């Protein structure tokens, strides 16, 4: 592998760069000496990371390990990979904040759910390690064991909920066998609606999974009973599921920012639609996310328009800063036509390593960027990457994804609309759905060289996703080849405007009361409806709340909105109280109500002064009605009293 130290130094001007031929062997003393010094340290080798960590001992500062061999040097274009190495090292130097953890505990209570002898055999393998119960759908053909080591019962799981350490199963046709069973099981009368609780579920039934996205449900293990190898792997996994386990708390929630609901009207439901595991549920005006069930796909955070839901592994701003550092260092070191390849570690990393070891490796202009889940990548990361000078972005997916990737597809569709509107021609965004390293290499080699921005942006910002997106869009618009002011976006976009049929709007301002971001505003001095497009998140609460149904959403991006003042949608003359002159409503509405009631309602005969009460404020209306001794029930015949049981009995006695 060739090391272009000059290019690396050019891309990392503030770093001291040293190169060695055998750092983990003959040159190990150089590492020990460097590790003993204080300060940040990056080692461009991941194969010997364990050895280097042991040699560093109790070093106060952590060591960053970066793979520049499989991702850059081992390639048919490895001689030109110096700028890429500079970018990879620069990205590794950006530290991410620590993320919180969720602790799940298991006491080893496992339910093995099956249909034949395979489930009982799995129970025998686990009996010495876990508290086993085997439940078969039918016990008719099962031979009773000579000794009862663990319970064997009959039952069918109707539904399941919960998580690792706290599963709750609803069981029908539950029956326990009698100890006197001889050549076959004799069962007690079956019962339905039985509840069972356990820490782990091993599903060998061969039926449909008990949970959506079952591969992502910790503690739920599923295997085909006809595949002995798969059953054995599941058994070995279950054997170790005893004790306390930490998992990342992937999602942070700020309920005050959530635009899910107001006044029992549903608005934004993007996260609810996208969550593959069902970890998100409505909770009043906002949503709640169960961290015990959440598998960290990140689609909710990528789609959240307000920043109420944010990803923590890493936060969106830390991810964007790593992209910035990589692309700026790559360009500074002489790189051109950068292609950003997003991939995950379980699938993408082995595929890239296989391509490097057994194929041509990654092209010199393809910069791999590992993320926890591809679906966590939001619009701000894609837009920011193009503002920083990338020519194309690719997402490396499994041939058969473990869960739905609709959120990522929506992000790509919105980004394509924005890039196309700003003059970025060609196929800028695409997914690569393969498990074959050769197919990956062919796809990356076939990417056409596309023009990038003439002067890449260098902005660096922190904050929630919406703040990052707003700033990234403004910077991309500034450096775009053909900037325009307004771009139409697909449905579901997190930015946009509204259209209001002003002829039908009565200025009731119910939309203002439910708007969670203040995009719709009123004026305490006069009847007016104002709109600030930069604050609109297209949650739809105004549309669902409007009693006249005159509001509709208009997904778009107007690059002038950030600097534009509040736009007046409708303004009318206020209704002034005819008694004290205080403004109290909308004049046209009061006139319309008075016209509909005068002479057509018994309370307001034609020419009667009572109609003037409608043109008064609330205080004066009470005073006038009191002065006139107005009785709304005057002249109305008394209502017939309701007939009671006593009346019926009294009438019956009279007849007798």
CA 613/CA 621 separation, integer angstroms: 5
Mean pLDDT of 201-226: 96
pLDDT in tens, 407-416: 999 999 999 9
pLDDT per residue as tens digits for the range 277-291: 999 999 999 999 999
pLDDT for 494-519, tens place per residue? 999 999 999 999 999 999 999 999 99
Nearest to 531 by CA among 578, 483, 565: 565
Convert the pLDDT of each residue in 512-560 to its tens digit.
999 999 999 999 888 999 999 999 999 999 999 999 999 999 999 999 9
% of the chain exceeding 70 in pLDDT: 99
pLDDT over threshold 80, residue 152: yes
How far apart are alpha carbons 8 and 15 in whole angstroms? 9
Domains and CATH numbers, the chain: 5-97+314-478 (no CATH), 103-246 (3.50.50.60), 249-311 (3.30.70.20), 496-571 (3.30.70.3270)
Q: Which of 7-11, 157-161, 236-240, 256-260 has the lowest mean pLDDT?
A: 7-11
| Averaged pLDDT score across all residues of the chain | 93
Task: State phi, psi for 64 to the nearest 5 degrees.
Answer: -90, 130
pLDDT reported for residue 369 = 98
Residue 634 is predicted with a pLDDT of 67
* 595 CB neighbour count, 10 Å cutoff: 11
Write out the two tokens for 182: 């001889």
Q: What is the mean pLDDT of residues 225-251?
A: 96
pLDDT for residue 624 = 84
| Helix, strand, coil in percent for the chain, rounding step 5 | 35, 25, 45
Alpha-carbon gap, residue 389 to 331, rounded angstroms: 8
pLDDT on residue 639: 79
On whether the CB atoms of residues 286 and 295 are closer than 8 A, the answer is no
CB 346 within 8 A of CB 425: no
End-to-end Cα, the chain, rounded Å: 115
Question: What is the predicted pLDDT for the residue at 478?
Answer: 96
Within 10 angstroms of residue 276's Cβ, the number of other Cβ atoms is: 22
pLDDT digits (tens, 9 = 90+) for 42-73: 999 999 999 999 999 888 888 999 999 999 99
Peptide bond into 314 cis (omega under 30): yes
> What is d(CA 4, CA 331) in angstroms, rounded to the nearest whole number?
15
Pairing mode, strands 486-488 and 551-558: antiparallel
Q: Determine phi and psi for 308, rounding to 5 degrees.
A: -65, -35
Instruction: Please determine, for residue 631, whether its predicted confidence score (pLDDT) is greater than 90.
Output: no
Tokens 């080699």 belong to 445
pLDDT tens digit sequence for 594-613: 888 888 877 777 777 778 88
**pLDDT-based confidence at residue 655 (cuts at 50, 70, 90):** confident
- Tell me how far CA of residue 356 lies from CA of 44, 412, 437, 534, in angstroms: 16, 28, 9, 46
Whole-model pTM: value is 0.89
Token output for 537? 């998140």
**pLDDT attached to residue 635:** 64
């Amino acid at each position: 592998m060739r090391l272009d130290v000059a290019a690396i130094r050019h891309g990392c001007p503030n770093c001291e760069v040293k190169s060695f031929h055998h750092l983990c062997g003959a040159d190990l003393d150089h590492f020990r000496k460097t590790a003993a010094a204080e300060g940040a340290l990056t080692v461009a080798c991941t194969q010997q990371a364990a050895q280097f960590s042991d040699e560093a001992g109790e070093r106060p500062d952590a060591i960053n390990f970066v793979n520049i061999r499989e991702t850059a040097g081992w390639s048919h274009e490895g001689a030109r990979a110096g700028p890429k190495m500079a970018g990879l090292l620069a990205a590794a130097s950006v530290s991410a904040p620590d993320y919180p953890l969720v602790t799940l505990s298991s006491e080893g209570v496992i339910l093995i759910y099956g249909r034949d002898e395979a489930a009982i055999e799995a129970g025998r393998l686990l009996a010495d390690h876990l508290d086993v119960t085997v439940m078969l759908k039918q016990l008719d053909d099962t031979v009773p064991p000579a000794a009862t080591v663990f319970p064997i019962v009959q039952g069918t799981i109707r539904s399941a909920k919960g998580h690792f350490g706290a599963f709750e199963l609803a069981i029908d046709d539950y029956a326990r066998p009698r100890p006197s069973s001889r050549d076959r099981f004799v069962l007690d009368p079956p019962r339905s609606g039985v509840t069972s609780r356990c820490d782990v579920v091993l599903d060998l039934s061969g039926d449909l999974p008990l949970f959506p996205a079952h591969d992502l449900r910790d503690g739920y293990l599923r295997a085909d009973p006809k595949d002995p190898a798969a059953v054995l792997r599941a058994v070995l996994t279950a054997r170790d599921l005893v004790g306390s386990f930490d998992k990342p708390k992937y999602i942070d929630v700020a309920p005050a920012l959530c635009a899910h609901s107001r006044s029992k009207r549903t608005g934004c439901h993007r996260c609810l639609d996208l969550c593959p595991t069902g970890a998100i549920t409505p909770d009043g005006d906002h949503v709640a996310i169960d961290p015990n069930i959440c598998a960290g796909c990140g689609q909710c955070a990528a789609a959240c328009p307000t920043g109420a839901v944010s990803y923590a592994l890493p936060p969106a701003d830390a991810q964007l800063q790593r992209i910035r550092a990589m692309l700026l260092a790559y360009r500074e070191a002489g790189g051109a036509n950068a292609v950003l390849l997003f991939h995950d570690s379980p699938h993408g990393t082995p595929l890239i390593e296989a391509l490097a070891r057994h194929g041509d490796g990654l092209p010199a202009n393809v910069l791999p960027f590992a993320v926890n889940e591809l679906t966590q990548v939001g619009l701000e990361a894609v837009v920011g990457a193009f503002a920083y000078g990338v020519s194309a972005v690719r997402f490396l997916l499994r041939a058969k994804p473990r869960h739905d990737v609709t959120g990522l597809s929506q992000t790509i569709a919105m980004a394509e609309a924005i890039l196309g509107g700003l003059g970025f021609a060609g196929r800028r965004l695409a997914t690569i759905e393969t498990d074959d390293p050769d197919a990956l290499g062919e796809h990356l080699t076939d990417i056409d060289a596309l023009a990038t921005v003439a002067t890449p942006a260098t902005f660096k910002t922190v904050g929630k996703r919406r703040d990052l997106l707003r700033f990234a869009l403004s910077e991309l618009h500034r450096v775009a080849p053909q900037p325009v002011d307004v771009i139409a976006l697909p449905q579901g976009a997190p930015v946009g405007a509204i259209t209001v049929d002003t002829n039908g709007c009565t200025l009731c301002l119910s939309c203002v009361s439910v708007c969670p971001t203040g995009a719709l505003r009123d004026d305490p001095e006069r009847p007016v409806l104002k709109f600030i497009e930069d604050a609109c998140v297209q949650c739809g609460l105004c549309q669902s709340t409007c009693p006249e149904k005159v509001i509709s959403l208009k997904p778009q991006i107007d690059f002038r909105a950030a600097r534009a003042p509040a736009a007046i949608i409708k303004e009318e003359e206020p209704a002034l109280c005819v008694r004290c002159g205080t403004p109290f409503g909308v004049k046209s509405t009061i006139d319309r109500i008075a016209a509909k009631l005068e002479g057509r309602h018994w309370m307001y005969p034609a020419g009667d002064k009572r109609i003037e009460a409608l043109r008064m404020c609330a205080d004066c209306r009470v005073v006038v009605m009191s002065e006139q001794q107005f009785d709304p029930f005057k002249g109305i015949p008394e209502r017939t009293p309701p007939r009671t049981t006593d009346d019926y009995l009294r009438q019956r006695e009279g007849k007798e």
